[in-house]
Amino acid sequence: MVTIILATGVLTNAIYIFGQGYSRGFVSGLGFDYILFTTSWDEAPFWAYEASRMMGLYVVQIFLDVGWILYLYISLSVLLVIITFRVISTYLSKTNKSFDKDKIRNSINPEVGFFILSFSYSYLVTVAVFFVPIIVSVWVLFPYFAEKYGASVAFDRYSQYEKSLCDTKYGWSGCIHIDSKYFPDYTGQDKILGRVVLKNDQYWGVLTENGPMTISAPDSIFYESIPLKKTED
């Protein structure tokens, strides 16, 4: 079954589809129009990696929060398995008897034996029973759950940026200043302070203190990294 799944490319398609769904949910969750920041098929694995990375961080955080509970649960589970195995081994060693194989063989119902024999050869039926639901899950359920997960990650990210838009764990400002003179129709501040969270060849998705803003990609730019302590002056 595993060989069939790998040979038919189901796993590969699942990665691409999950990446597409995650990117749609993430872009929309940040308040941007997905039509302007669509994800190509070649970019989908990157988004799938980003989704798995965020999921890994979430699992690690849970482990750090309730690590002792998880450790206790695993320890008790392993101990229970060892005790159960020991009890069964002791019981079987004390009740070891010789069985009449012919008697057991004759006691099997012919209809049951025919069913077992028939089912053992119905490999195609078995593949259909397990393979079709996998196909349906990949093409129908994966995009839905991936989009929901991407949106939830975006909501959490947006909440963090609302508290501290320019903060990064490396001590440098994550924001840039954009001169509004390049946008004649813009009626806001002369200098736009924002954080670039999305980018393609045509548009930038910038989170500002006033919310998400989509701007056209400038012809030429320069970016100077500034320590956070200087931006706070």
Domain ranges, ordered by start, for the chain = 2-163, 176-231
Confirm if 175 and 231 have CB atoms less than 8 A apart.
yes
Confidence label for 165 from pLDDT (cuts 50, 70 and 90) = confident
- Percentage of residues of the chain with pLDDT beyond 90: 21
Confidence label for 86 from pLDDT (cuts 50, 70 and 90) = confident
Provide the CB-side half-sphere exposure for 121 (13 A, CA). 5
Q: Please determine, for residue 134, whether its predicted confidence score (pLDDT) is greater than 80.
A: no
> Which tokens go with 51?
């989704």
pLDDT computed for residue 68 by the predictor: 62
pLDDT computed for residue 233 by the predictor: 41
Quick one: three-class SS letters along 10-59? HHHHHHHHHHHHHHHHHHHHCCCCHHHHCCCHHHHHHHHHHHHHHHHHHH
Once rounded to an integer, what is the mean pLDDT over residues 114-141?
62
Q: Please determine, for residue 23, whether its predicted confidence score (pLDDT) is greater than 90.
A: yes
Q: Please determine, for residue 231, whether its predicted confidence score (pLDDT) is greater than 50.
A: no
Burial of 173 (0-12, 13-18, 19+ CB in 10 A): buried
What DSSP character marks residue 137?
A: I
